[in-house]
Amino acid sequence: MRIGIYGVPIETVKHDLPIQFPQIYSPTITDELRKEIISVAKSIDIQIEDLGELILGNKLDSRLIPTPFQFVDEETLKQMQLVDFQKLREEKQRIGNISKDYDLLIGIGSSHFGAITMYSSNEKIARYDYHGDYYMGPMNFRLQNNEYNHANYLIWVRDNLKRCKIGNYFAMSGEYLGNLLEPEDEFGASCTFHDIDLDCFGHTFQNIYETSNTTFSTEYCMNRLLELLKHSKPKKLGFFEYRLNNDPSRQGVNYIVSCIASCIGQDISKIWHNAIMA
């Protein structure tokens, strides 16, 4: 079993009114997370190859690295490096080629925009996200490349990829591309790619905000995802909207490794216990 992991070094900021969400290239922000995932996986005899981070701009550029959802004015935004969408598309193609050499490819990142690098045509995809990542108001049909972000990347998927069959779990608000699914729906049990927004588990892993208006318990959602991964044995697994600095307990790392273990049919009782009891 050959498993690889790569980082998508993008952070989201807020800018101007009405609020826009520029995507900032933030080199090295996934380095520590990749190392921790690899280390915890190794402790339960899962070997993961580190494939590094995607290059989405000038790596030598020393401009500001933002904090998550930082509100920035025009001058501050100029001191940051916007994601080069053409480079992102090139890296997406490279990752697509690399994926053929792995039984399981894992992508991680702060911004859910990074998930765009994992989508391909002719795929069956399960998404886990409380918030719709499709709606951008009546102007959405006029989006330009540099306006795609964590909240609308599925518009790019809709317009550029063919025959993607998408199902959405734990949906609570916003608009979605694909079908809305009840938690017990077995759609995800046969998906080749699972796109996971870890804010589905709200305050459990990160002290950013409490999840609101959910009718599902956090533990139920976490267990349901593990069940679907165990049955589907996917080729690709994406974890986004997770920031290590906001999770001092590292419960999120344990849960990510539990998901990886479920994909390959490995016993997760020990690591899963750590994830929910830490």
Name the residue with higher pLDDT: 17 or 72: 72
Grade residue 42 by pLDDT with cuts at 50, 70 and 90. very high
pLDDT grade, residue 278 (50/70/90)? very low
Higher pLDDT, 62 or 113: 113
- Residue 86: is its pLDDT beyond 80? yes
pLDDT of the residue at 162: 92
CATH number for the domain formed by residue range(s) 3-277: 3.40.800.10
pLDDT at residue 272 greater than cutoff 60: no
| Average pLDDT of the chain to the nearest whole number | 85
Q: 202: which residues sit within 8 A by CB, 6+ positions away?
A: 130, 209, 210, 211, 214, 218
CA distance 150 to 70: 14
What pLDDT score does 19 carry?
64
Collapsed DSSP state (helix, strand, coil) of residue 102: coil
Residue 257's pLDDT band (cuts 50, 70, 90): very high
pLDDT at residue 22, rounded to an integer: 86
Residue 142 has what pLDDT? 44
- What digits encode the pLDDT tens for the residues 119-148? 999 999 999 987 766 655 544 444 454 578
Whole-number pLDDT of residue 171: 77
Q: How far is CA 74 from CA 15, 25, 77, 144, 179, in A?
A: 8, 17, 5, 19, 38
Are the beta carbons of 101 and 229 closer than 8 angstroms?
A: no
Higher-confidence position of 247 and 53: 53
Which of these ranges, 14-23, 123-132, 176-185, 259-268, has the smallest mean pLDDT? 14-23
| Sheet containing strand 10-15, strands side by side | 23-25, 10-15, 70-72
Report pLDDT for 149.
Answer: 84
The DSSP H or E segment spanning 94 is: helix 85-99
Element holding 234 (H helix, E strand): none
pLDDT-derived band of residue 173, with 50, 70 and 90 as boundaries?
Answer: low
pLDDT of residue 204: 58
Top pLDDT among 229 and 170 is at 229
pLDDT the model gives residue 203: 58
- The letter for the amino acid at 172 is M
Can you give the pLDDT at residue 136?
Answer: 54
Indicate the helix (H) or strand (E) that contains 90.
Answer: helix 85-99
Q: Are 134 and 112 in contact (CB under 8 A)?
A: no
Mean local confidence (pLDDT), 139-163: 74
d(C-alpha 257, C-alpha 17), whole Å: 39
Q: How far does CA 19 lie from the centroid of its chain?
A: 22
The residues spanned by each domain of the chain are 3-277
Residues 6+ apart with CB under 8 A from 171: 129, 130, 132, 180, 181
Give, to the nearest 10 degrees, the angle between helix 218-232 and helix 269-277: 160
pLDDT at 93 over 90: yes
